[in-house]
């Protein structure tokens, strides 16, 4: 990363130190790792950047003992007063990073339509996650499965009914939060009616706001009202909301709709910035500025070290520079850091005692997963 001046003066004359800008920038980054262990390059980068957290994928997880040790090392590399968010996508079904128990998909739980069962599965899942060092699960999916041609959501959704999705998402969230795992409602304001996968292209959904209020928004509104820990944006373009920008970059979607109309005051995280819906369509500095103005607090870079530190370093340096552009961006950055601190206070500073590691993949949890499949059908078995 290029050298940066020790102090910087914004357009309004406000001066901040490089150390302050780097600390705030690092806290707004959730980054991925190469494999199941850290090498010296990764350790150096983490020590310098002090990221807000990490996201692990199947490539990083070989087993309970290994991933618990990896998470322990990540904690040790971060400041004790800013414990990192240790996250993964543990939805069940085909999106299952820790594979000790073959948890069924959310569609199976929606089909079973037993809120007690959904909560029980969420608590058991969260016990496994806390036992292996995780504190944030990018679940539940709050998208309503309203398009049979959708290539990416499908059985990751609880189903096609907005009311049912809302009920089960709430049950899942309450189960996770009760075990000290932060739940994340995704992908705002809805990815269920797309016919394009945002990993590879920019989906466009031509729906009017009135229809969005009837179908896509009810699960998110319910989660916001109930105090969900985090909301993830979608890289989807809704022309009736914003003709030019996908939701992650849009003030009209995030500032007006999520934070304004729905009243959400918590942490907003972007979907992965490496997804082709945004990557390469806008320069990284523009993405960071637009998303910050829209209300995004955390930026997710899932494959930070593949093949080298390019995007994660570019995002970090871009966030360091952001506060130099205008006092308003510096104030928005301060707001994001305050929201992240409030999230830590709520979930990380006094967490419940984690379950013993012996629960990971235990017979009782495997029997629970099988019982859920029997009640809800075999869709999405891992």
Point out the residues that are catalytic.
199, 271
Q: Is 16 helix (H, G, I), strand (E, B) or coil?
A: strand
Residue with tokens 């999705």: 165
DSSP states along 228-284 = -SEEEE---B-TTT-SSS-GGG-HHHIIIIIIIIS---SEEEPSPTTSTTTBTTB-H
Angle 271-274-280 (CA atoms, 0-180°, nearest 5)? 120
- Provide the 10 A C-beta neighbour count for residue 260: 13
The answer, yes or no, to whether the previous bond of 189 is cis (omega within 30 of 0) is yes
- Would you state the structure tokens that stand for residue 186, as one six-digit string? 């995704």
CB 354 within 8 A of CB 338: no
Please tell me the distance from the alpha carbon of residue 187 to that of residue 379, in angstroms, as a whole number.
21
Helix (H) or strand (E) holding 90: strand 90-92
Please tell me the distance from the alpha carbon of residue 201 to that of residue 199, in angstroms, as a whole number.
6
Distinct helix (H) and strand (E) counts, the chain = 13, 12
Please tell me the distance from the alpha carbon of residue 337 to that of residue 28, in angstroms, as a whole number.
7
Q: Is 15 left (phi over 0), alpha (psi -120 to 50) or beta?
A: beta
Q: Is 355 helix (H, G, I), strand (E, B) or coil?
A: coil
DSSP states along 172-184 = HHHHHHHTT-EEE
CB 87 within 8 A of CB 117: no
Helix (H) or strand (E) holding 312: helix 310-325
């Amino acid at each position: 990363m290029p050298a940066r001046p020790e102090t910087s003066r914004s357009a309004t004359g406000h001066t901040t130190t490089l150390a302050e800008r780097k600390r705030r920038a690092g806290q707004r980054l959730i980054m991925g790792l190469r494999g199941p262990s850290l090498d010296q390059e990764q350790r150096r980068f983490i020590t310098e950047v002090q990221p807000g957290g990490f996201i692990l994928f199947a490539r990083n997880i070989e087993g309970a003992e290994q991933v618990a040790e990896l998470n322990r090392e990540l904690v040790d590399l971060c400041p004790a007063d800013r414990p990192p968010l240790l996250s993964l996508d543990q939805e069940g079904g085909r999106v299952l990073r820790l594979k000790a128990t073959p948890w069924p998909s959310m569609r199976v739980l929606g089909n079973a339509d037993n809120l007690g069962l959904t909560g029980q599965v969420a608590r058991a899942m969260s016990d496994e996650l806390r036992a292996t060092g995780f504190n944030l699960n990018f679940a539940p999916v709050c998208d309503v499965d309203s398009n049979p041609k959708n290539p990416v959501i499908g059985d990751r959704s609880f189903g096609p009914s907005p009311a049912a999705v809302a009920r089960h998402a709430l049950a899942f969230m309450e189960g996770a939060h009760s075990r000290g795992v932060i739940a994340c409602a995704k992908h705002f304001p809805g990815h269920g009616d797309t016919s394009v996968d945002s990993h590879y292209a920019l989906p466009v959904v031509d729906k009017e706001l009135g229809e969005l209020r009837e179908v896509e928004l009810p699960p998110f509104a319910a989660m916001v009202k109930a105090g969900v820990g985090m909301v993830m944006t979608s890289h989807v373009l809704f022309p009736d909301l914003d003709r030019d920008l996908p939701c992650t970059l849009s003030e009209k979607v995030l500032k007006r709709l999520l934070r304004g109309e729905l009243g959400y005051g918590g942490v907003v995280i972007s979907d992965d910035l490496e997804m082709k819906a945004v990557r390469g369509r806008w320069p990284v500095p523009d993405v960071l500025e637009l998303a910050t103005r829209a209300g995004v607090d955390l930026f997710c870079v899932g494959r930070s070290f593949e093949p080298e530190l390019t995007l994660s370093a570019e995002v970090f340096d871009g966030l360091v520079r952001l506060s130099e552009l205008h006092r308003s961006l510096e104030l928005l950055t301060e707001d994001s850091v305050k929201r992240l601190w409030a999230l830590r206070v709520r979930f990380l500073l006094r967490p419940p005692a984690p379950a013993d590691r012996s629960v990971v993949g235990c017979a009782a949890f495997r029997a629970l997963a099988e019982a859920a499949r029997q009640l809800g059908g075999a869709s999405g078995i891992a």
